């Protein structure tokens, strides 16, 4: 706890000689480390508290300056120890500044009446003209956000969540604009009604208004040139630079927004990267990526998503406004020039080509290609299961998690073959088999809703899905003893809650516990998400055990059954790797891949086959 004292007569004289003025010198208090010789041309209004001005601060690599105050107008300001504040064009008003801060060449830092700091703001995600379905606040993670959006019509749930969020916000709301410890703010224009967390770097920002920059020294936030950030919350480890404009947004951990990207009423979570394009009413879950200037993410829910150039979505299906939306399940990609007419639902790990009409719903046909050719819409079921792109994606995501230190707020499960996706695979295989059974083997095409499936591709789709099932079952059996699980909590339908894979029954139990008060705080809800995430292996086995028995038509996993499943796994995995190798060879034949790159990729494939086979019997 700092002890402050009034200025001495000698200190006031030194300040006056240095060109300083005060509305009332008696309202200025300082600590014993205050040195008036380090203050020049400063005008003081209202209540001022100043810490130590001794020492130095590094303002750039190997460029050290004395701490102090120079060329500034301050009103109702508290300044910590070891700061350098200089060349403030207008003023700093109603602001608390921590220790070790460097603030220079800034127009004004201010607090106006009724500041919210971007906390507790209600926005409309997915439905652009909706009544609001998502509350922005610092503790938000992808699961809680997805829960709000998915169940926004559940009034008891939303009322309870609103109460808990309001309490969390009120308990942590500062009385004025607050700048944490070891913050750098340089060459920026306006900062008003903002919380700037520890370790933040803000260089050249145009405007930060009614926002929280939730930085820590372990996970600092970088705000760069030309950025406009209004009514938004930015989480630790994120970077926003290059004239980015965000309004009513949440930027999650380790996200990057760059190169003129603009967003309104959108949320971005865990390692998402957005550049050049724009987003509106978009829910971008973990690892959502858009690089291109002409890409627009609007009215959609995404995760592990990659947008091709000129990707576009239409949320004006007809004449009633931009109220339609869609869900692209995890791992979906859109090719260059892809267009999707909402409402639409796309199955996991699918790829979209061309102008896709008729509101496709392919949630039961994962790993598919959707292709628009003239006025005909095609589905190639399961095709993406055996591509180089998928193989690279499922390996790169865990390695690209840039979240550092402390607790990771959003739960991210990287399992690509899981009860969630395998449930879709099972349904997809049955759909294809029923189509073949209904129309026979003599036809050239089959119809799935408004989409066409060629006969040869339907047969391949069944083969792809069967490979996926056998690989999944063998992989799960490697991680569990082949005994009946004690718990049944993992049984039933599974969902993907913005990166968290869980049984639907667990989600419903969570909702019930929120409504009835069993989970009485936001922290308790987040802890429940983490608990479910940590129990994934046990829940997965509970679901997988009965799935394996059903697939093989057996009643128990005896030694013979286990050996058969392992043999099927080895054979399926070899076929899968061979298909990926074939896909890589096709790309290599185009002539754009260097031989070293191709050979290195093939060597890794061969090594993986050998390694997996050895692990089975170790």
18 domain residue, yes or no: yes
Least confident of 19-28, 100-109, 119-128, 406-415: 406-415
pLDDT tens digit sequence for 216-260:
999 999 999 999 999 999 999 999 999 999 999 999 999 999 999
Quick one: pLDDT at residue 547? 97
Higher-confidence position of 402 and 590:
402
- Residue 236 is encoded by which pair of tokens? 């630790």
Quick one: pLDDT at residue 578? 92
32 domain residue, yes or no: yes
The whole domain housing 16 covers 1-110
Higher-confidence position of 1 and 571:
571
Quick one: pLDDT at residue 612? 53
pTM of the complete model: 0.94
Average pLDDT of the residues in 263-274: 98
Neighbours of 235 (CB within 10 A): 29
Provide CB contacts within 8 A for 182, sequence distance 6+.
98, 99, 100, 101, 198, 199, 217
pLDDT tens digit sequence for 108-158:
999 999 999 999 999 999 999 888 999 999 999 999 999 999 999 999 999
Strand partners, 40: 70
67 domain residue, yes or no: yes
11 domain residue, yes or no: yes
Quick one: pLDDT at residue 616? 43
Say how far apart CA 445 and CA 416 lie, in whole Å: 30
Average pLDDT of the residues in 576-580: 93
Q: Is 614 exposed, middle or buried (0-12, 13-18, 19+ CB in 10 A)?
A: exposed
Neighbours of 562 (CB within 10 A): 15
Provide CB contacts within 8 A for 518, sequence distance 6+.
512
**Domain tally, the chain:** 1
Quick one: pLDDT at residue 85? 98
231 domain residue, yes or no: no
Gyration radius from the chain CA atoms: 29
Quick one: pLDDT at residue 406? 64
Q: Rounded to whole angstroms, what are the CA distances from 419 to 18, 36, 577? A: 71, 67, 22
Sign, Cα dihedral of 34, 36, 42, 43: positive
523 domain residue, yes or no: no
Question: Do the strands 278-280 and 262-264 form a parallel or antiparallel pair, or are they unpaired?
Answer: parallel
Quick one: pLDDT at residue 617? 36
Say how far apart CA 275 and CA 204 lie, in whole Å: 18
Q: What percent of the chain has pLDDT above 70?
A: 97
pLDDT band at 618 (very low <50, low <70, confident <90, very high): very low
Query: Which among 306, 312, 255, 248 has a CA at the least distance from the CA of 278?
Result: 312
Say how far apart CA 52 and CA 83 lie, in whole Å: 8
4 domain residue, yes or no: yes
Sign, Cα dihedral of 334, 339, 340, 342: positive
Residue 419, pLDDT above cutoff 70: yes
292 domain residue, yes or no: no
Average pLDDT of the chain?
A: 94
pLDDT tens digit sequence for 360-407:
999 999 999 999 998 899 999 999 999 999 999 999 999 999 998 667
Q: Rounded to whole angstroms, what are the CA distances from 482 to 409, 470, 573? A: 34, 16, 20
Residue 318, pLDDT above cutoff 90: no
Residue 585, pLDDT above cutoff 90: no
Which helix (H) or strand (E) segment holds residue 531: the answer is helix 522-534
Please report, for the domain that includes residue 7, its CATH number.
2.160.10
Say how far apart CA 306 and CA 450 lie, in whole Å: 25
Residue 408 exposure: Cα atoms within 13 Å on the Cβ side:
19
Question: Do the strands 68-79 and 56-60 form a parallel or antiparallel pair, or are they unpaired?
Answer: unpaired
Say how far apart CA 227 and CA 203 lie, in whole Å: 9
Say how far apart CA 466 and CA 44 lie, in whole Å: 75
Say how many residues make up the chain: 618
Contact 250, 232 (CB under 8 A): yes
Residue 307, pLDDT above cutoff 70: yes
């Amino acid at each position: 706890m700092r002890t402050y004292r009034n200025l001495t007569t000698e200190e006031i004289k030194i300040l006056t000689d240095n060109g300083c003025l005060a509305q009332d010198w008696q309202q200025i208090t300082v600590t014993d480390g205050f040195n008036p010789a380090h203050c020049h041309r400063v005008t003081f209004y209202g209540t001022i508290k100043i810490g130590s001005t001794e020492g130095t601060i590094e303002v750039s690599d190997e460029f050290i300056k004395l701490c102090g105050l120079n060329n500034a107008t301050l009103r109702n300001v508290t300044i910590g120890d070891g700061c350098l504040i200089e060349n403030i064009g207008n003023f700093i008003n109603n602001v608390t500044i921590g220790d070790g801060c460097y603030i220079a060449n800034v127009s004004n830092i201010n607090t106006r009446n009724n500041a919210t700091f971007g906390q507790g703001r209600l926005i409309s995600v997915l439905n652009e003209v909706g009544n609001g379905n998502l509350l922005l606040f610092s503790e938000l993670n992808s699961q809680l956000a997805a829960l709000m959006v998915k169940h926004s019509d559940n009034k008891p749930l939303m009322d309870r969540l609103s109460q808990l969020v309001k309490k969390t916000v009120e308990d942590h709301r500062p009385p004025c604009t607050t700048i944490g410890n070891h913050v750098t703010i340089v060459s920026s224009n306006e900062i008003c009604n903002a919380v700037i967390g520890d370790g933040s770097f803000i260089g050249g920002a145009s405007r930060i208004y009614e926002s929280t920059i939730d930085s820590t020294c372990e996970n600092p936030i970088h705000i760069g040139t030309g950025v406009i950030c209004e009514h938004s919350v930015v989480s630790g480890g994120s970077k926003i630079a290059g004239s980015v404009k965000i309004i009513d947004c949440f930027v999650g951990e380790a996200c990057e927004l760059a190169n003129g990207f603009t967003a309104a009423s959108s949320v971005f979570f865990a390692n998402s990267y957005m550049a050049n394009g724009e987003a509106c009413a978009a829910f971008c879950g973990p690892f959502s990526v858009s690089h291109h200037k002409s890409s627009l993410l609007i009215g959609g829910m995404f995760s592990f998503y990659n947008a091709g150039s000129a990707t576009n979505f239409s949320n004006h299906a007809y004449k009633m406004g931009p109220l339609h939306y869609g869900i692209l399940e995890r791992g979906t990609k859109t090719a260059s020039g892809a267009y999707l007419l909402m409402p639409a639902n796309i199955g996991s790990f699918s790829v979209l080509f061309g102008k896709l009409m008729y509101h496709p719903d392919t949630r039961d046909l994962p790993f598919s290609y959707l292709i628009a050719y003239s006025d005909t819409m095609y589905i190639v079921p399961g095709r993406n299961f055996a591509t180089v792109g998928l193989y690279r994606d499922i390996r790169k995501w865990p390695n690209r998690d840039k979240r550092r230190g402390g607790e990771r707020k959003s739960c991210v499960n990287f399992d690509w073959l899981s009860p969630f996706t395998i449930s879709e695979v099972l349904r997809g295989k049955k759909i294809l088999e029923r189509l073949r059974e209904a129309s026979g083997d003599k036809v050239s095409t089959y119809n799935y809703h408004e989409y066409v499936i060629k006969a040869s591709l339907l047969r391949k789709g069944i083969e792809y899905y069967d490979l996926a099932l056998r690989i999944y079952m063998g992989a799960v059996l490697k991680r569990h003893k082949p005994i009946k699980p004690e718990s049944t909590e993992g049984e039933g339908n599974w969902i993907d809650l913005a990166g968290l894979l869980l049984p639907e029954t667990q989600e419903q139990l969570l909702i019930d516990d929120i409504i009835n008060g069993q989970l009485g705080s936001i922290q308790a809800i987040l802890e429940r998400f983490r608990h479910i995430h940590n129990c994934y292996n046990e829940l997965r086995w509970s679901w997988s055990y009965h799935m394996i028995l059903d697939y093989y038509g057996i009643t128990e996993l005896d030694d013979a059954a286990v050996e058969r499943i392992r043999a099927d796994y080895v054979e399926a995995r070899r076929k899968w790797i061979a298909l990926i190798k074939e896909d890589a060879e096709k790309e290599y034949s185009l002539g754009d891949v260097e031989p070293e790159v191709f050979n290195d990729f093939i060597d890794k494939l061969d090594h993986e086959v050998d390694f997996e086979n050895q692990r089975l019997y170790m």
